[in-house]
Amino acid sequence: MSNLRKLYITPKEAHEISGISEGTLANLRCQRRGPKYYKRPGIGRRSSIYYRLDEFTVWLESQPVLTRDSIKLVM
């Protein structure tokens, strides 16, 4: 199980990594937006949500906000 922990993160861990609240991540999932996620089957609210750490990181890094200063650095 420890190897799986390195591959998958919970919404709480995703929040700790990114600063994006668990509520916002839940809203993104409901809207079918945001990072790809996996749902472990369960009964009702007992199902668990997980993100692959590598996919979450790629999604997070694909969301830059370009500022005037960062655009000047690219040019």
Q: What's the CATH code of the domain at 62?
A: 1.10.10
pLDDT confidence band for 30 (50 / 70 / 90):
very high
Give the 3-state DSSP-derived string for the chain, with helices as H, strands as E and coil as C: CHHHHHHEECHHHHHHHHCCCHHHHHHHHHCCCCCCCEEECCCHHHCEEEEEHHHHHHHHHCCCCCCHHHHHHHC
Number of domains in the chain: 1
pLDDT, tens digit, 9 for 90 and up, residues 11-27: 999 999 999 999 999 99
pLDDT, tens digit, 9 for 90 and up, residues 50-73: 999 999 999 999 988 888 887 766
**What domain range is 36 assigned to?**
2-74
